[in-house]
Amino acid sequence: MLTSHAIDTVVRAALDEDAPWGDLTSEVLIPADALATAQLVAREPGVFSGEAVFEAAFRLTDPRILVHRLTADGAAFAAGDVLAEASGPARGILQAERIGLNFVQRMSGIATLTSAHVFAVKDTRARITDTRKTTPGLRALEKYAVRCGGGFNHRFGLDDAILIKDNHIAVAGGIRAVLERAKAAAGHLVKIEIEVDSLEQLQEVLDCGLADVVLIDNFDVASMRKAVEQVAGRLVIEASGGITLDTIGEIATTGVDYASSGALTHSAPALDVGLDIEI
């Protein structure tokens, strides 16, 4: 859930960065009592995300500005659709414009790209999930946008679960050693996931019987199919590495449970939306 506290914290930081001493241009050009109405308009089709964040940009700039939400997060829209409307003091609307747009463009871009991945696997059991490859300071918003696009969230941070990567294995003495340590320390609600980069390592994980999830990293499609057969339902399987919109469809047919992609957040293009203002 994206909390109001998380939203306000991020939006306040963005507003402080953009106008720490106010909006010089608007204060010089626009009368203090001028009013305006602005429409958030889609320039291209997509999936919406960021309605509360957009509203916060205007509310925190000037609480007299009223934002009417016309499109719900997770809803698809067409080019030309009006997604929201803001009305009130013109100076505040002009000052908040870029910040509100930045967040909606970023979040809707992520939601749209995620939705395309979800559609590509719709006839399979695979679920699309994100990673920790997020913009520093924006993780809560970007992971929320993934959910708006129909995806699922992986860990929010290093304290969510135990995820044993190849470097952990190398430093801590091998697969059995790290799994035994993890199992001894983990609480009963903490999941243990371990990364493998070969079918031989996967078999070692299965022989230990201590993991909940196995991450098969950078496997080709043929090896993924073999991994699914090898696991035979004993573990949840997450595929990762090189997953793109072009490859996800074939990967999903292998029978993996999850496919995680950092591209959902680190490479999603900003969606083209604009703010049309009437004075």
- Say whether 195 is catalytic: yes
Return the sign of the alpha-carbon dihedral for residues 51, 55, 56, 57: positive
Element (H, E) at 66: strand 66-69
Q: Catalytic pick from 69, 127, 132, 133? A: 133
Measured distance CA(95)–CA(67) in Å, rounded: 15
From the list 65, 4, 135, the residue with the least C-alpha distance to 12 is: 4
Measured distance CA(142)–CA(277) in Å, rounded: 27
Largest CA distance in the chain: 74
Q: What DSSP state is assigned to residue 118?
A: H
User: What amino acid is encoded at 58 in this protein?
Assistant: F
Strand 76-77 with 46-47, pairing: antiparallel
- Say whether 183 is catalytic: no
How many other C-beta atoms can be found within 10 angstroms of the C-beta atom of residue 100?
28
Residue 189 burial (CB < 10 Å; 0-12/13-18/19+)? exposed
- Say whether 98 is catalytic: yes
Q: Catalytic pick from 23, 51, 81, 195? A: 195
From the list 212, 240, 222, 235, the residue with the least C-alpha distance to 129 is: 240
Q: Catalytic pick from 44, 165, 207, 229? A: 165
- Residues 163 and 154 sit within 8 Å (Cβ to Cβ): no
**Active-site residue list:** 98, 133, 165, 195, 217
